[in-house]
Amino acid sequence: MMDKSYWIWYYGDYELYHIMKANLRREERGYKRPIFWKQDVPYVNVKFQKTVDSDGGTLKAYFNGSGYIAVNGKRYNEGIEIKVPKGKCKVEALISKENGFPAIFIESDVCPSDETWECNYCAGKFIPAGYNEYFDEAQKNPEIFPFAYENKVPVNKRHINNGILYDFGTELFGYLNIVNADAKEKINIFYGESEEEAIDTEHSLIIDSVEGSKEYQLKQRALRYVFIETECKNIDVSVDYEYLPLEKKGWFKCDNELFNKIYDVAAYTFHLNCREGFLDGIKRDRWVWAGDAYQSARINTYLFQDKAIEQRTAIGLIGKKPVEQNINYILDYSLLWIIGLYEHYMVYGDVKFLSRIYEMATEMIAFSETRINSDGFIEGTEDDWTFIDWAEIDMTGAVCAEQMLLIAAYKAMGNISKVLGKKEEDAFFEKSEVLKKLVNQYYWNEVLGAFIDSYTSGKNNVTRHANIFAIMYDIAEEEKKRNIIKNVLENDSVPQITTPYFKGYELDVMSKVNGLDKVEFILNSYWGEMIRCGCKTIWEEFKPEETGIERYGMYDGKYEKSLCHAWGAGPVYIFGRYYLGVYPTAPGFETFNVEPNLGGLNEIEGVVPVGDGGVKVSLNHNRLKVKASKSGGTLIWKGKHYKIEPDVELVIDC
């Protein structure tokens, strides 16, 4: 009887490989466009080893790559049944692969390949091998990412100009199939997230061209619309929709149909961008960006609560030693990556992951510290991109919002070090506190009652961004928080945020400190307006005042704006976190609070996943019902605390 075997590899290389593939796959009108920051790669030769003490048995190995497996020093190729002698025995393998990543699968009644095997990269310490539960058969190739597929047909078809325009009803990602074509005809294909883009054959960003066959399957593309230049009337198309099969563990419904629509559209937008990692937008970059991913992880917590995608994303973003630049070149994204690690730990309680990523986290923060100027503030060099948001922030010298993130990153590193029992804990907390004082001293403007962007320019410019972070990461004291609410958040003369990315943070902060009134206003006016404009997915940026084709422009490109951008799915998080009111109070939701809030709604209902269980909340003006499938929950309602027993419905008349 053989024990359960998995493909094993150097921990992290599976994740890094698939993120790399995504990062190098971007294509625009006729040329490829790889990421413009450094792409790390898997190790090319990996040693695997295990010492067993057994009654003997056999093993048979399969390689992804080439090399050997050795039993007590005698080497063999793959595919050979090898005797494992009785008693103590050392089994080793050395596999190399130049393209892809080395991996091994061992069928055995003695030493099946699993996480109890150790490996190194022919240097470094031996660590437990990486594996993935899906790859449990020799025939499954770990270099092929396990997506799911579903055939989709257009909901609409129109003959226009010299071709046919198809509408799939909503955005998709997948492989376009064309059948009944004329093999002699050269067919040009123009994809569009909008109808305008698909038929604007001079400018549509993603195009293809085929000829010589009656049937085609094209490359994987994002599309809602596709325009096919053809004289053939019989042509038929469909899309093999490719997606990550994730279980929707969380949901939300309320009596406001617009909000329900926002939730559904946001959840769909988010799901389309959940692939090898958290992608930014499904059409254009399809790259993994740490800031976008930070927001995505929060959304994921309340929708799929899928740990694996967060870990793939984190590993893919940080790569391997040495850290030579900011993640995605962006000063703030490096810090958000660090902050996100601790938030990830709070949701999933995965100490093992934390301990494995710790070395790279210390490398990352040490790199960030190379950007600290003589005043003690983090400041981008010419090799860094100080992003924060697409907004008019005064970027002179050290920027306030970056300091807020560094304070939070130090705190996260302190917390992570504490979990892992690392001696660096105190130093990180100390650094966080020191910087917090400095920031209050240099950036707080008493006259304006707000944090200013820059203390060196003399402009005393106030934007929402730093002030939002100051509340989000609990950096401002209570009085300052009140000031910020009044002088910044509720002050319409401070420019509005235009990206749903930062709107997500704004909603978070407002929900936390200012009740849900303003939140509902923003949901209504900003996300609601997208829905009213007919958007089936959430956009990268949205300016209600823009109309017509100009709405699709960004980055100097007519259709460069992403119309399906994950960072717009923030409401999913807001509904789960602040309406259903569920959040962890110990790692992995071992304990959690449920603090429901009806806001201005009449009825809400939904489920939030809490680790290996879920909690269902329903609330209207008359009654609150809470039921969890696991222990550890505390209901907080009108100042009172109630213990939530597993599988017992708490019913409270309001």
CB of 95 to its own copies, least distance (A): 8
Residue (96 or 396) nearer to its own copies, CB: 96
Residue 163: which of 139, 184, 181, 144 has the closest Cα? 181
Residue (21 or 422) nearer to its own copies, CB: 21
Residue (67 or 611) nearer to its own copies, CB: 67
Residue (78 or 508) nearer to its own copies, CB: 78
- Helix, strand, coil % (nearest 5) of the chain? 30, 25, 40
Residues 74-93 touching its own copies, rule: CB under 8 A, are: 75-77
CB of 383 to its own copies, least distance (A): 8
Structure tokens at 341: 């690690």
By CB under 8 A, residue 47 contacts its own copies:
yes
The one among 99, 209, 457, 585 contacting its own copies by CB under 8 A: 99
# residues contacting its own copies (CB under 8 A)? 39
Contact 475, 514 (CB under 8 A): no
Among the candidate windows 66-74, 305-313, 372-380, 503-511, which touches its own copies by CB under 8 A? 66-74
SS3 of residue 227 by DSSP: strand
Evaluate the omega torsion of the peptide bond into residue 322 and state whether it is cis, within 30 degrees of 0: yes
Contact 533, 168 (CB under 8 A): no
Residue (121 or 243) nearer to its own copies, CB: 121
Residue 51: which of 65, 71, 35 has the closest Cα? 71
CB of 9 to its own copies, least distance (A): 15
Binding mask 193-212 for its own copies (x = CB under 8 A): --------------------
CB of 213 to its own copies, least distance (A): 23
Residue (78 or 343) nearer to its own copies, CB: 78
Residue (47 or 298) nearer to its own copies, CB: 47
Question: What's the half-sphere exposure (Cβ side, CA atoms, 13 Å) at 202?
Answer: 1
Structure tokens at 356: 């494995």
The one among 177, 260, 325, 593 contacting its own copies by CB under 8 A: 325
The position carrying tokens 């100097």 is 556
By CB under 8 A, residue 66 contacts its own copies:
yes
Binding mask 118-157 for its own copies (x = CB under 8 A): ---xxxx---------------------------------
Residues belonging to the chain: 654
DSSP 341-376: HHHHHHHH--HHHHHHHHHHHHHHHHHHHTTB-TTS
> Distance between CA 481 and CA 65 in Å, rounded?
57
SS3 of residue 127 by DSSP: strand
Among the candidate windows 72-80, 282-290, 476-484, 547-555, which touches its own copies by CB under 8 A? 72-80
CB of 68 to its own copies, least distance (A): 4
Beta strands in 244-308 (DSSP E): 251-254
Q: Which pairing describes strands 31-32 and 156-160: parallel, antiparallel, or unpaired?
A: unpaired
Contact 390, 499 (CB under 8 A): yes
Among the candidate windows 155-163, 320-328, 334-342, 632-640, which touches its own copies by CB under 8 A? 320-328
The one among 6, 15, 50, 67 contacting its own copies by CB under 8 A: 67
By the 10 Å C-beta count (0-12 exposed, 13-18 middle, 19+ buried), 92 is classed as: middle
Contact 405, 412 (CB under 8 A): no
By CB under 8 A, residue 639 contacts its own copies:
no
Structure tokens at 525: 């006016």
CB of 21 to its own copies, least distance (A): 8
Among the candidate windows 117-125, 294-302, 409-417, 622-630, which touches its own copies by CB under 8 A? 117-125
> Distance between CA 5 and CA 134 in Å, rounded?
11
Residue (51 or 99) nearer to its own copies, CB: 99
CB of 382 to its own copies, least distance (A): 11
CB of 298 to its own copies, least distance (A): 29
By CB under 8 A, residue 654 contacts its own copies:
no
Residues 264-283 touching its own copies, rule: CB under 8 A, are: none
List helix spans (H) across 33-184.
none
Residue (30 or 245) nearer to its own copies, CB: 30
Residue (37 or 268) nearer to its own copies, CB: 37
- 124's CB contacts (< 8 A; 6+ apart) are none
CB of 320 to its own copies, least distance (A): 9
CB of 112 to its own copies, least distance (A): 21
CB of 28 to its own copies, least distance (A): 7
> Distance between CA 147 and CA 170 in Å, rounded?
20
CB of 289 to its own copies, least distance (A): 15
By the 10 Å C-beta count (0-12 exposed, 13-18 middle, 19+ buried), 493 is classed as: exposed
Residue (58 or 99) nearer to its own copies, CB: 99
SS3 of residue 146 by DSSP: coil
The one among 215, 324, 426, 645 contacting its own copies by CB under 8 A: 324
> Distance between CA 395 and CA 386 in Å, rounded?
8
Residue (97 or 536) nearer to its own copies, CB: 97
Among the candidate windows 41-49, 396-404, 407-415, 432-440, which touches its own copies by CB under 8 A? 41-49
SS3 of residue 120 by DSSP: strand
CB of 111 to its own copies, least distance (A): 18
Binding mask 1-40 for its own copies (x = CB under 8 A): -------------------xx--x---x-xxxxxxxxxxx
Q: Name the packing angle between helices 290-303 and 331-348 (round to 10°).
A: 20
The one among 53, 133, 233, 322 contacting its own copies by CB under 8 A: 322
> Distance between CA 475 and CA 408 in Å, rounded?
8
Ramachandran bin of 98, using left for φ above 0, alpha for ψ from -120 to 50, beta for the remaining angles: alpha
Residue (75 or 186) nearer to its own copies, CB: 75
> Distance between CA 462 and CA 444 in Å, rounded?
10
By CB under 8 A, residue 220 contacts its own copies:
no
Structure tokens at 231: 């004289």
SS3 of residue 632 by DSSP: coil
Among the candidate windows 260-268, 322-330, 486-494, 515-523, which touches its own copies by CB under 8 A? 322-330
Residue (17 or 552) nearer to its own copies, CB: 17
> Distance between CA 359 and CA 142 in Å, rounded?
25
Q: Which helix (H) or strand (E) holds 434?
A: helix 425-443
CB of 390 to its own copies, least distance (A): 19
Q: Which residues bind its own copies (CB under 8 A)?
A: 20-21, 24, 28, 30-41, 43-45, 47, 66-68, 75-77, 94-96, 98-99, 121-124, 321-322, 324-325
